[in-house]
């Protein structure tokens, strides 16, 4: 008897998605709880696991749109684990990088390496490997459970010698190298590549257009001297890491500063519903996280009740979940205000778009040494531009400017956060 593999329910607002990739092949023997596929929806990317062990029969090809509850594969529980064993006995030759002094591998060893690789290669890595022609068998995966990641493939393609196992540690992905790889993957003679938008990208586009149509958006700017935060962070970083096991970043300071400002200017902590204004008395702050699939905004709950370590831990957890496609629907729901840090990409100034129905969003930018006048003298200070975009239907200029000044004061004098003044 075959067990059906169905697309599970993922929330009331999600009715379909794109089956982005299969982690297994048709006819493979799969184990219980083994990851089978990757599903992209308009909100999150998730993975589907096998509920039983057996031989899988795939019913839907990759890149097809599927509905919630649709059967995408069948697993024959009565079938023995023969597929892998039969393949292992076949004298198939698989390309592999072998050092000059290394004994020649047998056909069985090569095939076994290929079979093991199928369980350690992520869909994104598999796609980049196909585009670049990198031999993935020779790469040691840096991901969870030895999975080969996209950055492993990119690093191997840019430095083939370092692709041999147990040698050098993979460096961080270089954006310039990624762009070159993307250009190299374009077939010669092709001037355009047409690809269907992912559900997440479509949803982002819809929300951004809706926000510009439904809200009367206005942006006000200010600048903040980061000297006090940088000094405080430097003085306490070692003890903070020793106590909490994670680094003290700038985002926790801004999250607490925003919470402080929302308390001082409650008009910003509100939303419009029909002809009513709903004032909120909780402080769930959304933090924009960029991924290779698009922008996600997980929500940090009850920031007024959390310390710096709790906030830093939440941000790190959400960033990892976003990169690994493990974000849950509950992580993205709600939120009264959003912080977007374009400064990590080098942005100097921007006008962020409000995350509707939230009334406002704070844009952070790059920290640069600039000449400023203090007490009549020109001095160099690490300065950052702040941009507050807000719905002018709900928030007047007075409230917006006051809010931004409160954030500025809290960052330039962090003691205000301690004493809530």
Q: Count of alpha carbons within 13 Å of 188, Cβ hemisphere only?
A: 0
Helices (H) and strands (E) in the chain, counts: 12, 19
Of 75, 84, 143, 152, the closest CA to residue 115 belongs to 84
Of 83, 86, 91, the closest CA to residue 27 belongs to 83
Rg (CA), the chain: 26
Query: What is the rounded CA–CA span in Å between residue 318 and residue 99?
Result: 41
Which are the contacts of 322, defined by CB distance < 8 A and separation ≥ 6? Answer: 289, 291, 296, 298
Q: At what angle do helices 250-264 and 397-412 cross, to 10 degrees?
A: 140
396 in active site: yes
**What phi, psi does 400 have (nearest 5°)?**
-65, -45
Of 369, 413, 361, the closest CA to residue 391 belongs to 361
Q: Give the position of tokens 């439904």.
A: 214
First to last CA, the chain: 68
Q: Which of 135, 174, 310, 392 is catalytic?
A: 392
244 in active site: no
Q: Which of 63, 396, 413, 420 is catalytic?
A: 396
The residues that bridge with 222 in the sheet, in sequence order, are 386
Which are the contacts of 416, defined by CB distance < 8 A and separation ≥ 6? Answer: 260, 409, 410
Query: What is the rounded CA–CA span in Å between residue 316 and residue 35?
Result: 24
Of 15, 16, 37, the closest CA to residue 28 belongs to 37
The residues that bridge with 19 in the sheet, in sequence order, are 39, 64
Query: What is the rounded CA–CA span in Å between residue 58 and residue 51?
Result: 15
Both tokens of residue 209?
Answer: 């257009």
If you write DSSP's letter for every residue of 71-123 in order, what string do you get? EEEEEETTS-S-HHHHHHTS---------TTSPPPPHHHHHHHHHHHHHHB-H
Both tokens of residue 24?
Answer: 């297994």
Residues marked active site are found at 392, 396
């Amino acid at each position: 008897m075959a067990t059906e593999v169905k697309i599970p329910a993922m929330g009331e607002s999600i009715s379909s998605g794109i089956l982005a990739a299969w982690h297994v092949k048709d006819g493979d023997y799969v184990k219980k709880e083994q990851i089978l596929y990757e599903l992209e929806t308009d909100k999150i990317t998730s993975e589907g696991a096998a509920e039983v062990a057996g031989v899988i029969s795939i019913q839907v090809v990759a890149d097809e749109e599927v509905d919630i509850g649709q059967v995408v594969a069948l697993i024959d529980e009565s079938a023995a684990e023969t597929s892998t064993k039969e393949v292992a006995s076949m004298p198939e030759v698989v390309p592999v990088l072998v050092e000059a002094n290394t004994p020649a591998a047998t056909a069985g060893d090569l095939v076994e390496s290929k079979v093991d690789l199928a369980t350690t290669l992520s869909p994104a890595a598999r796609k980049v490997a196909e585009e670049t022609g990198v031999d993935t068998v020779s790469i040691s995966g840096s991901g969870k459970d030895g999975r080969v990641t996209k950055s492993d493939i990119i690093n191997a393609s840019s430095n083939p010698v370092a692709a041999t196992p147990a040698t050098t540690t993979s460096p961080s992905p270089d954006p310039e190298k990624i762009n070159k790889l993307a250009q190299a993957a374009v077939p010669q003679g092709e001037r355009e590549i047409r690809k269907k938008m992912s559900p997440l990208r479509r949803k982002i586009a819809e929300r951004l257009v809706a926000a510009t149509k439904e809200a009367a958006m206005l942006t006000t700017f200010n600048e903040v001297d980061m000297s006090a935060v940088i000094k405080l962070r430097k003085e306490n970083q070692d003890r903070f890491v020793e106590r909490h096991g994670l680094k003290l970043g700038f985002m926790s300071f801004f999250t607490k500063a925003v919470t402080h400002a929302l308390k001082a200017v409650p008009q910003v902590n509100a939303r419009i519903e029909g002809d009513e204004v709903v004032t909120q008395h909780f402080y769930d702050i959304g933090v924009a996280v960029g991924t290779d699939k698009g922008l996600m905004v997980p929500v940090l709950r009850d920031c007024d009740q959390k310390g710096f370590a709790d906030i830093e831990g939440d941000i790190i957890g959400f960033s990892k979940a976003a990169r690994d496609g493990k974000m849950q629907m509950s992580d993205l729901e709600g939120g009264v205000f959003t912080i977007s840090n374009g400064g990590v990409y080098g942005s100097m100034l921007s006008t962020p778009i409000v995350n509707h129905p939230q009334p406002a969003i704070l844009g952070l930018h790059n920290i640069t040494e600039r000449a400023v006048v203090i007490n009549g003298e020109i001095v160099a200070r690490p300065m950052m531009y702040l941009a507050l975009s807000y719905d002018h239907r709900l928030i007047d200029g007075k409230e917006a400017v006051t809010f931004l000044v409160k954030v500025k004061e809290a960052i330039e004098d962090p003691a205000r956060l301690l004493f809530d003044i």
